[in-house]
Amino acid sequence: MAPDTSAPAQSVVPQSGAPSLTRKDFVSNQDVRWCPGCGDYAILSTALNVFPKLGIPRERFVMVSGIGCSSRFPYYVNTYGFHSIHGRAPTFATGLKLVRPELSIWIITGDGDGLSIGGNHLIHIMRRNIDCTILLFNNRIYGLTKGQCSPTSEMHKKTKSTPLGSIDYPVNPISLALAAEATFIARTLDTDPKHMASIFQQAAEHKGTSFVEIFQNCIIFNDKAFEPVADKTTRADNAIFLENGKPLVYGKDGLRGIRLNGWKPEVVSFDESNPPSGLPTHDEMAEDPSWAYLLSRMDPSQGFPVPFGVFRRVHRTTYEDLMAQQISEAQHRQGLASTEALQELITGEDTWTVS
Amino acid sequence: MSANQRKVEDAENVVIRFAGDSGDGMQLTGMQFTDTSAIIGNDISTLPDFPAEIRAPAGSLAGVSGYQVNFSNFDIRTPGDAPSVLVVMNPAALKTNLGDLEKGGILIANSDAFTPDNLRLAGYAQNPLEDGSLKGYRLYQVPMTKLVETALKDNPLSFRQKERCKNFFALGLVYWMFNRPMEPTLKWIQEKFKKNPDVSDANTRSLNAGFYFGETTEAFEVRYQIRKARIAPGTYRKITGNEALALGLMTAAERAGSHLFFAGYPITPASDILHELAKHRRFGVKTFQAEDEISAIGATIGAAFGGALAVTASSGPGIALKTEGIGLAIMTELPIVICNIQRGGPSTGLPTKTEQADLMQAIWGRNGEAPLAVIAPATPGECFTMAFEAFRIAVKYMTPVMILSDGYIANGAEPWRIPKLDDLPAITVQHPTSADGSFLPYLRNPRTLARPWAVPGTPGLEHRIGGLEKADRTGNVSHDPDNHEFMVKIRRAKIDGVAGDIPDVDVFGSPEGGDLLIVGWGSTHGAIISAVERARDRGLDVSCAHLRYLNPLPKNLGDVLKRFRRVVVPEMNLGQLRLLLRANYLVDVEGLNKVKGQPFKIREIEQKIDEMNPKKLGVSKQKVAVA
Ligand code: SF4
């Protein structure tokens, strides 16, 4: 067998000498077929702006998706792409990354695809820390199948499949990603392209599984689901943008903050002349996910702002690098693979000859 | 008569079965006996039979585990219909296995285990060793537990630990009885327990004690000798179906100059393939234990998209879960291999028992018109060849290929003539590196109809694939009615075309035709060919043909079937191949169907042959050809 050449994985990020690419290089010739006004357009457009900035040759990009409105994404990007089956995108991405660690793999999924039918795979790709970027378009509804409630739909929501109101407690994608211990976890929203671009870029540059939840408006079946934060005029009072090492301050005039009362966060208001001391600062690199988890639990219905930005960013060796290590260690111990070695293996230890 | 002058009788073949509680180490005992017999040149064939529970209650009927070995001085093909020697470690083992022992057969019982408690657990009102009910057998009562205890009195292990060595005592005794060398097992013990000298010592002594017990006890009047088997010249090893399969997959990757990627989820009886491959990181083998069966097929397809030789293995329930993924591999026309190590079904069924009831699932069991190639090894050793063949077809035709093995050949062992890698053909893998104009991912090779296997990372060949219907040539999503029908037909034509690239089916017996043809597939081969040989020896006009390619079927099969007046298909299901043959060739096929989780016995197939009352062969034809 030929010696393994894939080990150890090169970083997929900046390549000096890579040809300089522009947004145009990433636009495919396919007509985009989302509903006019869908939040997906802004996400696609932002991603197309970010791709050429990553210093990765175009042929190394692979978009892998499942099923749903968001999962059409690969057709609209002129890179390698795999529009797979419902919920399973992480599995294809895993197999692909294990044999081609040099690729930059993007998993495009939604709340139904990623958190319902594909929940299991999403958990496991994150805990394994396969190097890839997961963009989860959360619109809190099933769009492609025309408007059933999804695992992120709010309790009591009336939809086609829940005419009397949903009796499903919703899942919190960030809390779930933290429990699965993804090494990069962030939230952004479709109406803030600048923030989105910055998060996409950081997610791509992180080595390991990057999980990005994107609040995405489905104008047809769940319009204005994120109105208080999506609308620029109300956002400042309803959203808090996390910045590493900075205190948790938000509000139109920056005069509200989050402080801890024991293990409980609470909102404090203050006036400019008298900023409170002891507001906790955000630590996205904390190894222990408890802090990030606490942030992920802040509930807007209880008067808390919705956090956006990076919740967690830690370093862990990726699954594919650990596998490459095992291969090179085995080759170091037992010698490189060769036809002779394979013949020896096939022959085994106990043989006899019949003449 | 002194012990050393004991009579040694030559025997052609012996079928021995070790049976005991699942905690008694019967699988290990059987495997050691098999290894030793193989090393000294006997032909062997084995049938391990164990309960699905890892530890059913000790002493219970449900907890009995058995291992049957047929060893001989001639070419054998099955583990034997009925044991002529039965070793039982407790009353439950006696109860569940005695019915199979040949009349007058040798029965060795660990008499110490026939306690009132154990007798009650096995449902015996009185001790069968004492009530005369076993007088039709040659019964040897051996107080193994006590003998082991005595042999180990200087050893510091606890009583319970010592007691667990009694399987080695039993093994030593049968080694003596059948004149086997002890060295291979002694070496194995030393190696296995090198970190635990007390256990190593206890097992060694127990083995020796068993051997010397035979030697010194007057009770055993004869020893048997089974000479080397007269089989084709070459260098041999013992191999199980799952080992052979794993090695065949690795060899295919080597011959393709590629790397093997395996994704699987633990499931009986397929897990051993993962275990075997996981040892071989040195060869660049990447094994991935997925979170579930669906993930395993997904990762396999992803790896194939990335240009690796990718394979997954499972059994019925797992294959059911992979169904949607397999459909995607068919739609995206990626080369993957799916191994189905069949077991009793439906649902969880009989995890540790064998069956061939997934044939229709393999060929038809997906939504839509979803053809793939299906092949089936006939023996443990053949799993190597068919694994290699699966990748050859997959890569050449850009298609998923399913291998149908089953629990019987997966766990069963036989001597295997070790192939020379240099003699095996290369598998040609082509990844395009450039395109004239824009790349067309569904532009087909006119001969094989395969599409190009362009791998992510190749500049200029960026393209998208997926589960939605593809437009011919461009691979773009298409809902066009004519295109859909065209693509459905071309996917079928591609698989049909494989028929031109596989061997014709051979007829054993009278290739020119005759009265009765037995057609089999997969693991029934040994029993069928042995039964047909015997019938022909009796002058009956019976032939057989064995299918290793199930989809597509060999090109000459229709002709072959029509050359015989009657056709019978024995299979471990209710008639799936029979249905296929009837549908494809309008031939009135009869079935011989057994769904007991057990392989066919030669006798059962002979009986069916006799029932069919075949004509007599002309004298000149009586000893024809070996296929
Ligand atoms: S249904 Fe909703 S999510 Fe889907 S494309 Fe239309 S607006 Fe977007």
The pLDDT tens digits for B281-329 are 999 999 999 999 999 999 999 999 999 999 999 999 999 999 999 999 9
- The class level of CATH for A23-246+282-319 reads alpha beta
Class of B3-225 in CATH: alpha beta
Q: Where in chain A is the domain with CATH 3.40.50.970?
A: 23-246+282-319
Cross-chain residue pair A103–B40, CB shorter than 8 Å: no
| pLDDT (0 to 100) of residue B371 | 98
Give pLDDT tens digits for B401-421.
Answer: 999 999 999 999 999 999 999
| B184 → closest Cβ in A59, A326, A350 | A350
Ligand 1 binding pocket (C-beta < 6 A) is A 34-35, 38, 40, 69, 139, 143, 218-221
Specify the range with the lowest mean pLDDT, choosing from B218-227, B309-318, B370-379, B499-508: B218-227
Residue of A nearest to B470 (CA): A83
User: Cα–Cα distance between A182 and A289 in angstroms, integer?
Assistant: 10
Which of B32, B282, B438 would you mutate first to test chain A, the one with the most A CBs within 10 A? B282
Structure tokens at B235: 């260098």
What average pLDDT does range A200-211 have in this prediction?
98
Q: Give the mutation target among A45, A149, A218 for probing the ligand 1 site: most ligand atoms within 8 A of CB.
A: A218
- Answer yes or no: is pLDDT of A11 > 60: no
Cβ B118 vs Cβ B92: under 8 Å: yes
pLDDT, residue A67, reads 97
Region of B104 please: left (phi>0), alpha (psi -120 to 50) or beta: left
- For an interface test with A, the pick among B462, B468, B474, B478 (most A C-beta atoms closer than 10 Å) comes out as B462
What angle, 0 to 180 degrees and rounded to 10, lies between the N-to-C axes of helices B144-151 and B197-216?
Answer: 120
Q: What is the pLDDT of residues A30-61, one digit of tens each?
A: 999 999 999 999 999 999 999 999 999 999 99
B236 interaction partners in chain A (CB closer than 8 Å): 351-354
C-alpha–C-alpha distance, residues B186 and B168, integer Å: 10
Q: Nearest Cβ partner of A83 from B234, B462, B467?
A: B467
The overall average pLDDT reported for chain A is 94
Cβ A173 vs Cβ A152: under 8 Å: yes
Question: For residue B4, what pLDDT band results from cuts at 50, 70 and 90?
Answer: low
Across the range B605-613, mean pLDDT stands at: 98
Instruction: Tell me whether the CATH fold assigned to B3-225 matches the one assigned to B507-621.
Output: no
pLDDT beyond 80 at B122: yes
* Percentages (nearest 5) of helix, strand, coil residues in chain B: 40, 20, 40
Q: Phi first, then psi: give them for residue B396, nearest 5 degrees.
A: -70, -35
- Across the range A244-249, mean pLDDT stands at 95
Strands B64-72 and B13-21: antiparallel
Considering Cα of B227, then B231, then B236, then B240, what sign does the dihedral take?
negative
Count interface pairs A-B at CB distance under 8 A.
Answer: 223
From the list B82, B80, B13, the residue with the least C-alpha distance to B43 is B13
Model pLDDT, residue B2: 47
CA distance A117 to B307: 28
Interchain contact A344–B (C-beta under 8 A): no
ipTM higher than the 0.85 cut:
yes
Pairing status of strand B13-21 against strand B85-88: parallel
Q: Is A316 on the interface with B (CB under 8 A)?
A: no
B236-423 maps to which CATH number? 3.40.50.970
Q: Which CATH number fits domain B507-621: 3.40.50.920, 3.40.50.2000, 2.60.40.3080, 3.20.20.80?
A: 3.40.50.920
Least confident of B13-22, B240-249, B291-300, B613-622: B613-622
Mean pLDDT confidence for A211-240: 97
Tens of pLDDT, residues B148-169: 999 999 999 999 999 999 999 9
* Cis preceding-peptide flag for A57 (omega within 30 of 0): no
- pLDDT at position B430 is 95
Which residues does B442 contact at the CB level (< 8 Å), separation at least 6? Answer: B333, B451, B470, B471, B472, B473, B474, B475
C-alpha torsion angle, residues B544, B550, B553, B557 (rounded to 10): 10
pLDDT on residue A5: 43
- Shortest Cα distance, chain B CAs vs residue A2, angstroms: 6
Sorted by sequence, the CB contacts under 8 Å of residue B77 that are 6+ apart come out as B45, B379, B525, B526, B527, B529, B530
Neighbours of B37 (CB within 10 A): 27
Instruction: Place B625 in a pLDDT band, splitting at 50, 70 and 90.
Output: very low
pTM (2 decimals)? 0.92
**A83–B457: do the CB atoms touch at under 8 Å?**
no
- Ligand 1: nearest atom to the Cα of A35: 6
Phi-psi label, residue A309: left if phi above 0, alpha if psi -120 to 50, beta otherwise: left
pLDDT at A292 over 70: yes
Q: Which residues of B touch A345 (CB under 8 A)?
A: 247, 250, 280, 283
The set of residues, in sequence order, having a beta carbon less than 8 Å from that of A205 and lying 6+ positions away, is A13, A54
- Per the model's pLDDT, the better-predicted residue between A9 and A265 turns out to be A265
Residue labelled with tokens 């093909």: B77
Token pair 């802090």 in the structure block, residue: A291
Res. A8: pLDDT tops 60? no
Q: Where are the domains of chain B?
A: 3-225, 236-423, 507-621
Q: Residue B1: what pLDDT?
A: 42
pLDDT at B541 over 80: yes
The nearest alpha carbon in chain A to B467 belongs to A84
What is the spatial distance between Cα A250 and Cα A262, in angstroms, rounded to a whole number? 21
